[in-house]
Amino acid sequence: MTIALPVDYAGVSMAMTREMIRRGASDLHLVCVPTGGLQVDQLIGAGLVGTVETSAVSLGEAGGAPRFNAAVRDGSIRLKDATCPAIHAGLMAAQKGIPFLPMRGLIGTDLLRHRKDWRVLDNPLADAGDPIVLIPAIKPDVAIFHAPMADRFGNVWIGRRRELAAMAYASTITLVTVERIVEENLLADELTAAGVLPALYIGAVGQAPRGAWPYGLWGEYPPDVAELNRYAQAARTAEGFFRYMAEVGVEAVS
């Protein structure tokens, strides 16, 4: 199963991450939009992940992502190293229902050399040779994110975090956790409507207050820097990782 997950500042559903680890899964293919952090590191540490397609994975100011780095070293995950605009291009192709999107700036990189699914073509509209890379559509089965609010009609307010919409457009279904559910229709007011991802794209919404913790949520609460640092230290070893997860109430089944 392919799962699209957002960048750490856009609204990461850590509440759902913990639930996924409690319930267990295997060989998940994660698509980071366009980078990953704590969420990806925990899913890898808990053994749920087979493949990671990403532009980067790190814990930001807290340092490198320890379980990701360990998994790379021992070869226990497949890596599809990408770059941010290529992830965006792949999702955009899926959004438009086309097989690929051309993209500049990749020729000469080792990313291209290792990505057999990325092809180089001569621009058919140019007179002389003009090589350009084709990025195939990325079509996740599920997109998962956390947002400040949804209404009781299933419309979700994403503000200017348009990568969340891009993920949803490209994915078969989208699962969202929110801080709160409001009574009024978010589409009824033009001010909120402009930042709404309509219910059309949403599979299910669940209420999870502080659902991004220990990440922050834009406009709501800041990241818990001390907790992120605590995780970064604890997860340096597999034992430390499982001990940490048990402390935050998550016993992994796998």
Partner 1 sequence: MTAILSREILIYAIAQLLDGVKHVAVGASSPIPAAGAMLLRAMKAAKGEPVPRISVLGSVEHNFFTNGSAELFDCAAQGRIDAFFLGGGQIDGVGNVNLVGAGGYPQSDVRWPGSFGSAYPYSVVPRVILFREEHSPRVLVDKVDFVSAPGVSERGVSRSGGPIALLTGKGLFRFDKSHPGFILDSIHPGYDLDEIKASTGFKFQHADRPGRTASPDGSTLSLLRGKVLDEPAGTYGEFAAKMRAELP
Would you tell me which residues interact with partner 1 (CB under 8 A)? 7, 9-10, 33-35, 54-58, 60-61, 64-65, 68-69, 72-75, 79, 81-85, 88, 92, 103-111, 114, 128-132, 160-166, 218, 225
Helical residues (DSSP H) of the chain, grouped into ranges: 14-23, 38-45, 66-74, 84-96, 110-114, 162-170, 190-193, 225-234, 238-247
CB 165, min distance to partner 1, A: 7
Q: In what order do the strands lie in the sheet with 119-122?
A: 100-103, 131-136, 119-122
Q: Which is nearer to partner 1, 36 or 250 (CB)?
A: 36
Q: Which is nearer to partner 1, 100 or 153 (CB)?
A: 100
Q: Which is nearer to partner 1, 9 or 153 (CB)?
A: 9
CB 229, min distance to partner 1, A: 10
- Residue 243 φ/ψ region, left for φ over 0, alpha for ψ in the -120 to 50 degree band, beta for the rest: alpha
CB 105, min distance to partner 1, A: 3
CB 131, min distance to partner 1, A: 6
Residues 45 and 28: their CA atoms lie apart, in Å, by 13
Q: Which is nearer to partner 1, 130 or 141 (CB)?
A: 130
- 27: Cα separation from own chain's centroid: 16
Q: Classify each residue of 127-164 as buried b or exposed e, where b means 16 or more C-beta atoms within 10 Å of its C-beta.
A: eeeeebbbbbbbbbebbbbbbbbbbeebbbbbbebebb
CB 107, min distance to partner 1, A: 5
Q: Which is nearer to partner 1, 18 or 161 (CB)?
A: 161
Q: Which is nearer to partner 1, 165 or 250 (CB)?
A: 165
For the packed helices 84-96 and 162-170, what is the interaxial angle rounded to 10 degrees? 50
CB 75, min distance to partner 1, A: 5
Coil, strand or helix: which one is 181?
strand
